[in-house]
């Protein structure tokens, strides 16, 4: 078992990097002038954070397992919302 703080910090960075990557992509594509520049900045920041977290001197197996857990949780959440929508629409 890995150090809990290591997992928490690395996954915190992964989460913020992911949101910055996705939001940066959207803002830089659909934004105009100043907003677009902000989007590109966020995109670059997201890439930099991703690079930092993957190149960190940290147990890669634990990191990949944490990513697996995160993907599982997200997928579970999506399945739950789909079940809710099916139940509401079918009624």
Partner 1 sequence: MDMSTEIGDGVIMDYFVSMLLIGIGVALLATGLFTSYFGAGKSQKIGLGLLVTGILAIIITYILTFEAGTGVTTQFDDGVFMDALVSGISALAGMIIGMFVILFVLMKVDTVDDLEDLDLEDLEDLDLDEELKKLEKELNADSSGEEE
Residues near partner 1 (CB under 8 A) are 1-2, 4, 7-20, 23-24, 27, 32-35, 38, 42, 54-55, 60-81, 83-84, 87-88, 91
Contact 47, 24 (CB under 8 A): no
Q: Which is nearer to partner 1, 23 or 44 (CB)?
A: 23
* Long-range Cβ contacts of 58-67 (<8 Å, 24+ apart): 58/6, 58/10, 59/2, 59/6, 62/2, 62/6, 62/7, 63/10, 66/7, 66/10, 66/11, 67/14
CB of 47 to partner 1, least distance (A): 13
Min dist CB 48 to partner 1, Å, is: 13
Compare residues 9 and 44 and give the one whose CB is closer to partner 1.
9
Q: How far is the CB of 64 from partner 1 (least distance, A)?
A: 4
Whether 57 and 75 have beta carbons less than 8 Å apart is answered as no
């Amino acid at each position: 078992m890995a150090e809990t703080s290591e997992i928490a910090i690395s996954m915190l960075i992964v989460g913020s990097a992911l949101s910055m990557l996705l939001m940066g992509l959207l803002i830089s594509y659909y934004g105009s002038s100043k907003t677009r520049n902000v989007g590109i900045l966020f995109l670059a920041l997201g890439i930099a954070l991703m690079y930092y977290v993957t190149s960190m001197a940290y147990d890669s197996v634990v990191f990949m397992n944490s990513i697996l857990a995160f993907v599982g949780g997200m997928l579970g959440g999506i399945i739950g919302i789909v079940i809710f929508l099916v139940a509401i629409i079918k009624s």
